[in-house]
Structure 1
Amino acid sequence: MCPSRATGTPARAGPRAGSRLSSSSPAPRPSICVPNPTGTTTERLPMLGPVEYRKTLEAARDEWHSKNHPFFKTWAAGELPNAAMRAYCQQHYNFVSNASRYSGIMYGLCDWHDARELLLENLNEEEDPDERHVDLLSRFGMALGMTFEEGRSAPDLPTTAALKDFIINTLMMKSVLEGIATLTIGLESQVPELYAPLIDPLRNVYGFSDEDIEFFTLHVVADVEHGDAGFEIITNHSVDERDQQMVIEQVRLAAMKRWFYMDGLWLQYVEGRQWYPAAGAQAAA
């Protein structure tokens, strides 16, 4: 059974860096203060240096890193059933088929040249006609025994829909800083550590060819670069300690939402709870 966790987001007030309200540099703001456990006094949170800031962002992500989820642990051990791999392929298609849309939304809302350059690179890679990422995922689905259409027509599990809704709501309703942190650090920077442990069992336990698993091998390399670029962008555009604390909490929240997305797959296709019957038949067929 999946472990249960809880987290919270501190209240914030006033305009934010990268807000939709203005693309100009924000005016100086007072340091963020948070209550101590007794609620009687406050303490100032200092602004972190670049190295410490990155380590803190990584720690926030790693609290909920899906590499520790039992779904990926079971897969890396070569013990994940075919039906669960099919379901992952279907639900992940439903998720990543929107990746270019997410990058496009942020590209249109963001004025920062370094961020726009990364977002455009992501768009080009996702939609490369010679190597579209969703087509590589579909290839893996067909190696699992699904038809092309079966891999692309499954309904969302509620947890998949919740992750997609969370991303759209973040991009449209929160700051540019939070949106980019969600895509690049909270989500994308996880991928190399998710997929690297799968390569050997996919080849040597499950017996897939290198062509079958290209979706995984490609992302192990590409998303290291994208994640590093995301950390650099976030560091450059977090102008004070309030920005930093806001982004740290957003990264933690994004990683948590991805964990819950994996919960849905684990409960339905590994524990066999059939908690959402509408999704069961297609992956198990």
Structure 2
Amino acid sequence: MAELMNRDDFRAALENAIKGKSANKAPFSVAWASGKLSRDHLARWAENHYHYVGPFADYLAYIYARTPDRFTEAKDFLLANMYEEEIGGDRHTDLLIRFAEACGTTRERVIDPDNMSATTR
């Protein structure tokens, strides 16, 4: 296993990786926040976003399984996040499907992997 970075180096690496890539400045986000998107735009976004965020708890589980046991705080954080995604209250993917349906699409279109755009794929 590769040597782990110390806390400060890891934080700096994360901050450098996301510098200038804030989602709230993306043209789509700006259009959404300013009310310029139609329900059809939002429905299509939800149909694609579902496939992007759907396996998120699986990604967390993968990281959890490979996190050394001595990092109990990190493992506890990952477990709490997985719980929130999959069990606690409404599952996030279910909320996304409800949003999509309110925008005029169907659950079937949202979960259909053949319906996502090539970019999402």
Aligned-pair identity in percent equals 30
CA drift at 1:56: 6.8
SS at match of 1:17: coil
Structure 1 unpaired stretches of 5+: 1-14, 19-25, 27-46, 162-285
Partners in 2 of 1:53 and 1:16 — Cα distance?
A: 14
Q: What's the counterpart of residue 2 of structure 2?
A: 16
Residue among 87, 111, 116 paired with 1:152: 111
Partners in 2 of 1:128 and 1:141 — Cα distance?
A: 21
> Does residue 75 in structure 1 map to residue 32 in structure 2?
yes
Q: What's the counterpart of residue 79 of structure 2?
A: 120
Larger Rg: 1
The root-mean-square deviation of aligned C-alpha atoms, in Å, is 2.7
Contact 2:48–2:120, Cα closer than 8 Å, also in 1: yes
SS at match of 1:160: coil
TM-score, scaled relative to structure 1: 0.37
CA drift at 1:55: 6.4
CA drift at 1:130: 3.7
- String of CA shifts for 1:70-128, please: whole Å, max 9, x gaps: 01111111001222211110111111110111011111111121221111111101111
Structure 2 unpaired stretches of 5+: none
Give, as a single letter, the amino acid of the residue that structure 1 aligns with 2:104: G
Q: What's the counterpart of residue 142 of structure 1?
A: 101
CA drift at 1:160: 1.9
Residue among 65, 74, 82 paired with 2:22: 65
SS at match of 2:107: coil
Change in CA separation of 1:154 and 1:82 when aligned onto 2, cut-off 3 Å: farther
CA drift at 1:133: 0.8
Moved beyond 6 Å, runs of 4+: none
Partners in 2 of 1:54 and 1:129 — Cα distance?
A: 28
5 Å-filtered alignment, 1:48-63, equals: 50=8, 54=11, 57-58=14-15, 60-63=17-20
TM-score, scaled relative to structure 2: 0.81
Q: What's the counterpart of residue 45 of structure 2?
A: 88
Partners in 2 of 1:53 and 1:106 — Cα distance?
A: 16
Give, as a single letter, the amino acid of the residue that structure 1 aligns with 2:117: L
5 Å-filtered alignment, 1:1-285, equals: 16-18=2-4, 50=8, 54=11, 57-58=14-15, 60-111=17-68, 112-128=71-87, 130-155=89-114, 156-161=116-121
Give, as a single letter, the amino acid of the residue that structure 1 aligns with 2:81: N
Change in CA separation of 1:96 and 1:74 when aligned onto 2, cut-off 3 Å: same
Change in CA separation of 1:136 and 1:113 when aligned onto 2, cut-off 3 Å: same
CA drift at 1:67: 1.4
How many residue pairs end up in the alignment? 118
Change in CA separation of 1:57 and 1:108 when aligned onto 2, cut-off 3 Å: closer
Give, as a single letter, the amino acid of the residue that structure 1 aligns with 2:39: N
Contact 1:90–1:154, Cα closer than 8 Å, also in 2: no
SS at match of 2:79: helix
SS at match of 1:73: helix
Contact 1:86–1:146, Cα closer than 8 Å, also in 2: yes
